[in-house]
Amino acid sequence: MIKRFSPFSLMLRGSRKEFDRPLVMGILNATPDSFYAGCRASDDEAIAARVRDIMGQGGDIIDIGAYSTRPGASDVDAAEELNRLTRAMAVVKREAPDAITSVDTFRAGVARAAVEELGVDIVNDVSGGQLDKAMFSTVASLGVPYILMHMRGTPATMQQFTEYDDVTSDVVAFLAERIAALRDMGAGDIIADPGFGFSKTLEQNYEMLAGIEQFHTLGVPLLVGVSRKSMIYRLLGTTPAEALNGTTVVNALALAAGAHILRVHDVREAVETRKIVMQAGSCHDLANN
């Protein structure tokens, strides 16, 4: 059964843009230590090549991260994070000036500078506003779309906090509470991210995947980011480098359940997955009319 896709819209650069298909967000890690080496781009030439790959393969959004959130990653201060983002955005604007961009940061000051000074379109916060209490008021004042992700603790400690009554219901409840708080502050577009791989055991990740349609009760677009994560390669007994096939399977399941955005390392494969699922969904609709 393929869920009918629900079109959505985002306020981007002062105008509302409508989307009638899921979006593919390509990851650009302007870091030397992100968990998947294939998407690290810490110099201008590597950043430019990655931007060309994302856009050339059909990506819709470039998600730029300058602080690795993998367990055990080195701490980076705000100044260095912003320096990395500044260099990356300069290359993105040169290579793909019309691309939609998001900044992957949990720091309100970095988010503000990225939007106001660098021209970033979306703020993507892995902490759901918990690591910087100024984040919610900042994104509300900026008026840009905000990706609200579920995580407990910090990237270094998150796997110590995996106790839930029911992981899917608990994460939905957390996101609902945070969405309400954002709405009270006047925030605009909010995108929910269940946080696959963050503060969840392998089994809990698959429990959430099985119940993913529950996240549609939040009434906001749903982002799924599972690309090459440990929930895939540990289950299969492989490595991040060998996790593309498993990633594609999970992305297909997420799309069939109505996901609005896929955050991925491998753009071409995600675009092809989207095309197949959307085609199958269209045929399903025809067969039932």
Give the up-direction half-sphere exposure of residue 208: CA atoms within 13 A in the CB hemisphere: 31
Helices 78-95 and 44-56, packing angle to 10 deg? 50
- To the query of whether residue 263 is one of the catalytic residues in this protein, the response is yes
Distance CA 164, CA 131 (A): 21
Q: Is 59 helix (H, G, I), strand (E, B) or coil?
A: coil
CA angle centred on 177, ends 119 and 187, rounded to 5°: 30
CB 103 within 8 A of CB 142: no
The catalytically annotated residue of 40, 107, 152, 263 is: 263
Helices 244-256 and 202-210, packing angle to 10 deg? 30
The catalytically annotated residue of 200, 229, 234, 268 is: 229
- To the query of whether residue 70 is one of the catalytic residues in this protein, the response is no
Residues classed as catalytic: 229, 263
